[in-house]
Amino acid sequence: MGDKVLIWSKKDKAYWKDGSNGYTPYLSHAGLFDRKKAATICPQLNNIIELEDAITTLQIECKMKK
């Protein structure tokens, strides 16, 4: 799991979708990218988010909705 990451666009305030096919504000719709590819995608405009951190965030969000 450690080699897959999510990409957060600071400019668009959204996650990159699979295949770099647009953006989504929803973590559940975010694409998974190889770490090396993610590091090459506009590093000044994006944050690379560890998958484990994203899963933790999603779990917290789900608990808060209950």
More confident residue, 61 or 22: 22
What pLDDT is attached to residue 58?
54
Strand partners, 8: 15, 47
Residue count (the chain)? 66
What pLDDT was estimated at residue 23? 93
Of residues 7 and 47, the one with the higher pLDDT is 7
* Domain span including residue 46: 4-65
For 23-59, the pLDDT digits (tens) are 999 988 999 888 888 878 766 656 777 767 666 655 5
Instruction: For residue 18, give the nearest of 34, 3, 29 by alpha carbon.
Output: 29
- pLDDT category at 3 given cuts 50, 70, 90 is confident
| Per-residue pLDDT at 62 | 52
Please tell me the total count of domains within the chain: 1
Give the three-state DSSP class for 31.
Answer: coil
